[in-house]
């Protein structure tokens, strides 16, 4: 049985939801960490509802925060096991939120930061109906070697990474691009110059415009 997820929500500025944007926070944070990104995007996306679920587990290294799966930073296989472990939880939550707003599965955009970006990319690329857009901020593509046989579609993808990131080095962006190329999945990217492990205003603007562009299709 999938574990239930919940978190803060923002109703669409226009009063009627025609799209759903789901944020997935980083390791040790919770849904409150990203929901304000929705406020920044409401002018660009007035018909979008926003939700930022808390990850299903308390974080072992940050008792007040949450984790999508446990990280020891010692086991090279833990990310792959982790994204597969949480897949059903996230997939069920996405389905339920789309039903809540009376939306089809193609009116969904996924936005993840760090561990949440790993989760968003893994789940989004394996949805029965691909999302309208996936954005990964400061993340890592887990199991890129499996994409060719597992990806169910080619949703528009944007990766944003700071070139001064000392938590997940910027090489992760280029590794992801190589994996997407091998799987013949198009992907856009943006390098945030002088930025560490975070989202700067330029990266935030690129993300909002990317979602708005792809929801208009």
The C-alpha atoms of residue 109 and residue 99 are separated, in whole angstroms, by 15
The C-alpha atoms of residue 132 and residue 144 are separated, in whole angstroms, by 20
Per DSSP, helices labelled H in the chain are: 35-41, 78-101, 115-124, 147-150, 171-182, 201-215
The C-alpha atoms of residue 47 and residue 147 are separated, in whole angstroms, by 32
Average pLDDT (41-69) is: 95
Q: Is residue 217 predicted with pLDDT exceeding 80?
A: no
Q: What is the pLDDT of residue 76?
A: 78
Q: Is residue 41 predicted with pLDDT exceeding 90?
A: yes
Average pLDDT (12-27) is: 98
For the full predicted model, state whether its pTM sits above 0.95: yes
Q: What is the pLDDT of residue 63?
A: 80
Asked if residue 177 lies in contact with residue 183, where contact means CB atoms within 8 angstroms, the answer is no
Average pLDDT (22-27) is: 98
Q: Is residue 52 predicted with pLDDT exceeding 80?
A: yes
Asked if residue 202 lies in contact with residue 192, where contact means CB atoms within 8 angstroms, the answer is yes
Q: What is the pLDDT of residue 75?
A: 84
Q: Is residue 97 predicted with pLDDT exceeding 90?
A: yes
The C-alpha atoms of residue 31 and residue 12 are separated, in whole angstroms, by 18
Q: What is the pLDDT of residue 96?
A: 98
> Which residue has 């982790």 as its token pair?
82
Average pLDDT (124-137) is: 98
Asked if residue 111 lies in contact with residue 34, where contact means CB atoms within 8 angstroms, the answer is yes
Per-residue b or e along 20-31, where b marks 16 or more CB atoms closer than 10 Å to that residue's CB? bbbbbbbbbbbb
Q: What is the pLDDT of residue 72?
A: 84
Average pLDDT (136-161) is: 97
The share of the chain scoring above pLDDT 90, in percent, equals: 94
Mean of the per-residue pLDDT values of the chain = 96
Please list, in sequence order, all residues whose beta carbon lies within 8 angstroms of the beta carbon of residue 100, skipping any fewer than 6 positions away.
Answer: none
Q: What is the pLDDT of residue 121?
A: 98
Average pLDDT (40-52) is: 98
Average pLDDT (25-52) is: 97
- Which of 81, 70, 86 has the alpha carbon at shortest distance from 27? 70
* Size of the chain, expressed as the number of residues it contains: 217
């Amino acid at each position: 049985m999938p574990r239930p997820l919940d978190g803060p929500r923002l109703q669409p500025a226009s009063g009627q939801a025609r799209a759903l944007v789901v944020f997935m926070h980083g390791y040790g944070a919770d849904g409150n960490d990203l929901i304000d990104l929705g406020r920044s995007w409401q002018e660009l996306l007035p018909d979008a509802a926003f939700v930022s679920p808390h990850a299903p587990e308390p974080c072992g290294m940050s008792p007040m925060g949450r984790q999508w799966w446990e990280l020891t930073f010692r086991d090279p296989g833990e990310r792959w096991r982790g994204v597969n472990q949480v897949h059903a939880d996230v997939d069920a939550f996405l389905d339920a939120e789309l039903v809540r707003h009376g939306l089809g599965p193609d009116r969904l955009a996924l936005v993840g930061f760090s561990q949440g970006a790993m989760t968003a990319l893994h789940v989004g690329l394996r949805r029965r109906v691909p999302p309208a857009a996936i954005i990964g901020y400061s993340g890592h593509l887990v199991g890129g070697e499996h994409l060719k046989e597992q990806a169910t579609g080619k949703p528009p993808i944007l990766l944003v990474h700071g070139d001064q990131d000392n938590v997940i080095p910027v090489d992760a962006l280029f590794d992801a691009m190589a994996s997407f190329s091998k799987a013949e999945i198009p992907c856009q990217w943006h390098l945030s110059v002088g930025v560490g492990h975070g989202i700067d205003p330029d990266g935030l603007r690129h993300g909002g415009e990317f979602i708005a562009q792809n929801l208009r299709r």
